[in-house]
Structure 1
Amino acid sequence: MIGAVSTSLLNVRSMPTPSSAILGQLTEGMVIKGEGPFDNWIQLHYKDTFGFVSAHYLRPVNDLARLTGTVNTNKLNVRQAPSTSAKHLATISRGASIKTLAFLNDWLEIEFNGETAYVAARFVDLVYVSKGYYAKVSADLLNVRSAPYPSASLFGQITMGGQVWVEGQQHDWSQIRFNGNRGYVASRFITPMTETAINAQQQDPIALSDHQDDVIIPSAHIEQGLSRLTPTTILTVTGSSEQRNAAATWNRWGALLTDLSNNKQLDVACALAVLCVESSGKGFEQNNSDRMIIRFEIHKFWKFWGQHNPQQFRQHFRYSNDKVWQGHEWRREPIGEWQSFHGRQSNEWQIFEFARQLDENAAMLSISMGAPQIMGFHFERIGYQSVLEMFNAFAGSIQGQVNGLFNFFSPRMLQYLKDLAFEDFAGMYNGKGQKKVYGDKIQKHYGAFKKMMPNPEQQHS
């Protein structure tokens, strides 16, 4: 069983009885993997021995996007497959952050340098973020560290009275958002804020301006009543590149994809294959501060802004006249060197943020967003009143992105998918010029997933 602690402190006992000796305590949100339940007790490994916790105080871990992990050993091997004999890819140090994609017995499937890799689960402390809260700093200067250890590297400091957004706890440390990244502070130096205090401060512009740089509240981490994402059956990410891609995508969003596909009477393998091809099933990029995956299309920015400002456009942007989706380059300064940017999310966001300064609405219309890579100018088609509304929904949660995919499917697109006419589908989804390339990719991913799970429609969540 895998569960997250649902009470502020949970005793770990030496035997499965309320009167047995207490070995230690787990804090709210900490994730455990154990055997059971046996008479409402879970047996787990704890500090080089066995311990027991009451199953009553555990809740299921349904959404792996809310998991955060921290390496708890001096050196941890990252491997290509879930085996000690698998190829060694890298070594990561104590305190490093881990993005978990799946549980595979004694291994964690993780995202590493944009790829899928594996680490031994017992060397990673996991926290399940369910609902965060504001807290105020009560120390003169509060150190923000990269990991929940006194010796971890220092990210920075927050002054007395500064606000932080707390996502979870690990023993005596609180996990917070700091400058768009995950950081850790000693819990004894922060105090949870009451709703009254928060409301009062929001109405006081002077108070807010004092500490506006101290608190960053990512919408993706605020409780939104999201549907379950991860499926009951988790696949091992092995085999061909298409099989690995399909398995990783299924492990992330299989439950949600199944529910939405059933509503459309569509084989979930079809929707999954489309997501695999569009974005490798990923909606956010860990190596880019967990920001939404985007692709900035310069030729679209010409349409929405450039043609009305041609001289300024040509100083900063250029693309191929023949095949407008090629030759995309830009430069910040009119006399600077031209640089390409596709293929790296930090670069995509760099040009996007620059374009937003010129015209925010036109810039948003010119990007494809999230896992389904739907262009911003389709906002009305998928049910939004503005492109900003679509951008916020896609940037806020994977559910917003996947819902957008299914809302984007026209009746004809759905029929093509049901008929397995992937090239015809790609002609509508990706454009006629690329329909064979994308159609073949969708076909390969569809076949790879069906080979691993012939009857995915039976995998109810």
Structure 2
Amino acid sequence: MFSASTATEIRQVARELKIEPATLLAVAEIESGGKAFASVDGRREPVIRFEGHYFDRRLSPDNRSRARLAKLASPLAGRVRNPALQVDRWAMLERAAAIDRKAAYESVSWGLGQVMGAHWAWLGYASVDALANEARSGVAGQVRLMARYIEKAGLAPALRARDWKAFALGYNGPGFAKNRYDERMAEAYHRYDTIATEPEPEPAPEPQSVLGIRIIPAWLGALKLRRR
């Protein structure tokens, strides 16, 4: 799950966008693993995933040869493995950017919603850098990026209806069932919705009084005696 502060920010932006907070929290958690940021050389950066097959198709022949030799590109999805640690994924991105920066940034899925940089023009950003900067700006920026993709891809109705199968098919592709995306989103939604609807704890009762004399609980009286 997200930290309390991150969950609060996501809820706030969801309300501004008129989206049920628990639905957006559920999608963001499953896509990001419940982690909004990673520490990279002292910087706070969004979580990323590098896609070597995207990189491969965006390179010139000479750069493609260099990238394949460096094991940063492949014509087949999944052949370029992502390191487990985010700091190593960012190092991979830097190596790819040294070959072709624009292609490298387009080949990364960014932030809470894991939106591909390659979609920058389709989503209305001025450049891939503008999309990346949105993700790097903070939790709110990452949520806006994710929400923009959901709206543009026509997935907002499925999300509002909490039709997790339809949403996962559109968001994660036809292989969504293999990773149980729909089931995991439904489980995460139920958890966040339960948290949102839990009743506030009742305040402690006021000290009672008998004939106008306040009765102080024994533990409070003992505490006062110890302070003297």
TM-score (norm 1): 0.39
Q: Which runs of 5+ in 2 are unaligned?
A: 200-228
Q: Please give the residue correspondences for 1:135-150 in structure 2 after superposition, counting only pairs within 5 Å.
A: none
1: CA distance between counterparts of 2:25 and 2:67? 38
1: CA distance between counterparts of 2:75 and 2:106? 20
The two structures, once aligned, show a CA RMSD in angstroms of: 2.5
Match of 1:353 in 2: 94
Structure 2 residue corresponding to 1:443, chosen from 178, 183, 186: 186
Aligned 8 A contact 2:13 2:140 in 1? no
Match of 1:328 in 2: 80
Match of 1:285 in 2: 38
**How far did 1:288 drift?**
5.2
Question: Would you say 1:426 and 2:180 are equivalent positions?
Answer: no
Structure 1 residue corresponding to 2:21, chosen from 248, 268, 271: 268
1: CA distance between counterparts of 2:16 and 2:138? 20
Structure 1 residue corresponding to 2:148, chosen from 407, 429, 438: 407
1: CA distance between counterparts of 2:134 and 2:105? 13
Match of 2:196 in 1: 453
Distance change >3 Å, CA 283–CA 306, structure 1 → 2: farther
3-state DSSP class of the match of 1:351?
helix
1: CA distance between counterparts of 2:11 and 2:142? 15
CA deviation vs aligned residue, 1:72-119 (integer Å, no higher than 9, x gap):
xxxxxxxxxxxxxxxxxxxxxxxxxxxxxxxxxxxxxxxxxxxxxxxx
1: CA distance between counterparts of 2:137 and 2:151? 24
How many residue pairs get aligned? The number is: 195
Aligned 8 A contact 1:261 1:268 in 2? yes
Structure 2 residue corresponding to 1:375, chosen from 116, 131, 134: 116
2: CA distance between counterparts of 1:406 and 1:253? 16
Structure with the larger RCO, 1 or 2 (CA within 8 Å, 6+ apart): 2
Could you say which structure has the higher helix fraction? 2
Distance change >3 Å, CA 262–CA 292, structure 1 → 2: closer
**How far did 1:388 drift?**
1.0
Aligned 8 A contact 1:295 1:342 in 2? no
Could you say which structure has the higher strand fraction? 1
**How far did 1:413 drift?**
1.0
**How far did 1:430 drift?**
1.6
**How far did 1:278 drift?**
1.2
Match of 1:384 in 2: 125
Question: Would you say 1:305 and 2:28 are equivalent positions?
Answer: no
Question: What is the identity, as a one-letter code, of the residue corresponding to 1:300?
Answer: Y
Question: What is the identity, as a one-letter code, of the residue corresponding to 1:327?
Answer: R
Q: Which runs of 5+ in 1 are unaligned?
A: 1-244, 330-340, 457-461
**How far did 1:307 drift?**
5.6
Aligned 8 A contact 1:381 1:408 in 2? no
Aligned 8 A contact 1:296 1:368 in 2? yes
Question: Would you say 1:316 and 2:59 are equivalent positions?
Answer: no
TM-score (norm 2): 0.75
